[in-house]
Amino acid sequence: MGSLLASTSHRRSVPRTVWHRRAPIVIGALCALLLLGCSIDGEAQSAPSRQSLTPRLVGPDGFPRGASPVPAPAVTSVIVDVAGPAGTVEPPRCRAPRVSAEGAAANVGPGSAGGSPGTGSSGDMGSSSGPTAAGGTLTVLIAYAPTGLDSFDSFLAKCSRFKTQTAGASSQVLLRKLPARAAGGKIGTRSYARTVTTGGQSGSLSYAITTLVAQYDGVRVYAEDRRQGANAQRISADLDTLFRRAVAKAWPNRA
Q: Is 20 within the bounds of a domain?
A: yes
Report pLDDT digits (tens) over 177-236.
Answer: 999 999 988 999 999 999 999 987 678 899 999 999 999 999 999 999 999 987 767 899
Number of domains in the chain: 1
Q: Is 136 within the bounds of a domain?
A: yes
Domain that holds residue 124: 4-25+49-250
Q: Is the dihedral of CA 179, 128, 5, 82 positive or negative?
A: positive
Report pLDDT digits (tens) over 145-189.
Answer: 999 999 999 999 999 999 998 888 889 999 999 999 999 889 999
Distance, CA of 122 to CA of 147 (rounded, Å): 26
Confidence check: pLDDT of 21 > 70? no
CB 124 within 8 A of CB 82: no
The stretch 49-62 carries a mean pLDDT of 96
Q: Residue 99 is which amino acid?
A: V
Q: Is 30 within the bounds of a domain?
A: no
| Other beta carbons less than 10 A from residue 7's beta carbon | 38
| DSSP-derived 3-state class of residue 121 | strand
Q: Is 75 within the bounds of a domain?
A: yes
Cα angle at 104 between 132 and 223, to 5 degrees? 45
Q: Domain holding 156: CATH number?
A: 3.40.1000
Cα angle at 107 between 58 and 228, to 5 degrees? 120
